[in-house]
């Protein structure tokens, strides 16, 4: 018994920790539709509970045993009218909820003209994002405009994952060889948390992402600057040393625009210096976390596919960090966005 109570306590704490990071915004269009459906379900549930509880209380009071009652009360063996009524009413409620649910599903699944197309591919244990119309690729953090519908084509490159940004919409499975779609729209700027919602391996719980919603003007500037972007020349000897190390140790797996690094096995790092997180949304993007990640990512994220680089000295790690943090666009600070 104590072990069971302890297990329940741990699960409750874990659920509370997750709930702290999961915000369901009522002003997101998809969530508004689902909230409207939820209210109908809640209304019917309250009515049913009230009727059943009231009937039960009335029956208990009306037919309670009274002092001096020594004989069995009259026995009722059936009532066709009542049986028809209590079968027809639940059937009617189910039909109403079926129609409301179908209408809601049609609304949230219907393609919207003028949507921004995005492709999301799940890998153990990170998300790869592409803008097919712009020819751009990023990872871990998807930048979108406020007020424009977004259509995400979701698939997987290895096992089944599930793409879920709860503050904006529901979830859709990422299945190898298949394409699923999610449609949503951000109504205000923010840093929206996202999760993998399908058990996919040892670091399933650490497979996260961010959706960064910018005002239209800022988003347009981001896209234009990103399209024209090439990695800047190292500003000092430390960054130059970091670039040499990157080309020797990292370029086989990672891409940096404007450099010989063209690897596609791992995340695109062209704008790494702008990211708010590393390790696919798990850790804050700080120099200390970055050096720990490079040295042994699996110690921070179990089953990480990135090999350890324990042979690198502290000086090498600092040089790599200096180079990676130089990879960014000027005039943007995503860390200032409110988090949802």
Does the pLDDT at position 2 exceed 70?
Answer: no
Instruction: Return the pLDDT at 17.
Output: 44
**Residues 187, 147 contacting (CB under 8 angstroms):** yes
Lowest mean pLDDT among 22-31, 55-64, 111-120, 234-243: 22-31
| pLDDT given for residue 324 in this prediction | 96
Nearest to residue 166, comparing CAs of 41, 24, 305? 24
Q: For residue 63, what pLDDT is reported?
A: 83
- Note the pLDDT of residue 257: 94
Residue 167 backbone phi and psi in degrees, to 5: -75, -10
Pairing state between β 141-145 and 208-214:
parallel
Q: Which residues pair with 279 in a beta bridge?
A: none
Q: Is 10 a residue whose pLDDT tops 50?
A: no
Domains of the chain: 23-58+81-110 (1.10.287.90), 116-228 (2.60.40.420), 237-336 (2.60.40.420)
Q: pLDDT tens across 316-334, in order?
A: 999 999 999 999 999 999 9
CB 281 within 8 A of CB 163: no
| Phi/psi at 96 (5° precision) | -60, -45
How far is residue 278's CA from residue 288's CA, in Å, rounded to a whole number? 11
What per-residue confidence (pLDDT) applies to 65? 82
Is the distance from CB of 122 to CB of 190 less than 8 angstroms? no
Task: Give yes or no for residue 5 having a pLDDT over 60.
Answer: no
Q: How confident is the model at residue 24 (pLDDT cuts 50, 70, 90)?
A: low
Find, among 327, 312, 321, 328, the residue nearest to 238 by Cα: 321
Closest CA to 115 of 158, 156, 152, 69: 152
Looking at residue 78, its pLDDT comes to 80
Residue showing tokens 């297990």: 7
Strands 208-214, 277-278: pairing is unpaired
Percent of the chain exceeding pLDDT 90 equals 78
Inter-axis angle of helices 287-295 and 314-324, to 10 degrees?
120
Q: What are residue 120's phi and psi, to 5 degrees?
A: -120, 125
pLDDT value for 255: 95
Q: What is the DSSP letter of 181?
A: E
Tokens of 191: 């840093």
Q: Name, in order, each residue with C-beta under 8 angstroms of 164's C-beta and a sequence gap of 6 or more.
A: 170, 171, 172, 194, 195, 196, 197
Q: What is the mean pLDDT of residues 243-265?
A: 93
| Of residues 198, 184, 224, 223, the one with CA closest to residue 340 | 184
**Considering the chain, what is the average pLDDT of its residues?**
90
- pLDDT in the model for residue 11: 46
Does the pLDDT at position 203 exceed 90? yes
Per-residue pLDDT tens for 286-298? 999 999 999 999 9
């Amino acid at each position: 018994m104590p072990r069971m109570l302890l297990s329940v306590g741990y699960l409750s704490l874990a659920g509370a920790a997750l709930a702290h990071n999961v915000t369901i915004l009522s002003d997101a269009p998809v969530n508004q539709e689902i909230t409207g459906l939820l209210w109908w379900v809640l209304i019917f549930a309250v009515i049913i509970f009230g009727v059943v509880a009231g009937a039960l209380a009335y029956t208990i009071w009306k037919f309670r045993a009274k002092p001096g009652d020594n004989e069995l009360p009259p026995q009722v063996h059936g009532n066709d009218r009542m049986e028809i009524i209590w079968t027809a009413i639940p059937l009617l409620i189910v039909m109403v909820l079926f129609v409301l649910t179908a209408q809601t599903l049609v609304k949230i699944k219907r393609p919207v003209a003028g949507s921004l197309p995005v492709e999301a591919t799940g890998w153990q244990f990170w998300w790869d994002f592409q803008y097919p119309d712009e020819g751009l690729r990023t990872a871990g953090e998807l930048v979108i405009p406020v007020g424009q519908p977004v259509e995400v084509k979701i698939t997987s490159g290895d096992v089944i994952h599930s793409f879920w940004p709860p503050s904006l919409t529901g979830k859709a499975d990422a299945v190898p060889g298949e394409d699923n779609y999610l449609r949503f729209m951000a109504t205000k700027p923010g840093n929206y948390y996202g999760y993998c919602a399908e058990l996919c391996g040892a670091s399933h719980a650490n497979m996260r992402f961010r959706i960064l919603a910018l005002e239209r003007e800022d988003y347009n500037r981001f896209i234009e600057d990103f399209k024209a972007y090439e990695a800047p020349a190292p500003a000092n000897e430390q960054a130059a040393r970091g670039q040499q190390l990157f080309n020797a140790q990292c370029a086989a797996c990672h891409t940096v625009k404007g450099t010989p690094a063209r690897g596609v096995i791992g995340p695109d790092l062209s704008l790494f210096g702008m990211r708010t997180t590393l390790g696919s949304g798990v850790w804050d993007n700080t120099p200390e976390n970055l050096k720990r990640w490079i040295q042994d990512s699996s110690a921070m994220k179990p089953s990480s596919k990135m090999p350890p680089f324990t042979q690198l000295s502290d000086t090498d790690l600092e040089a790599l960090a200096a180079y990676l943090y130089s990879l960014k666009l000027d005039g943007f600070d995503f860390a200032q966005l409110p988090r949802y």
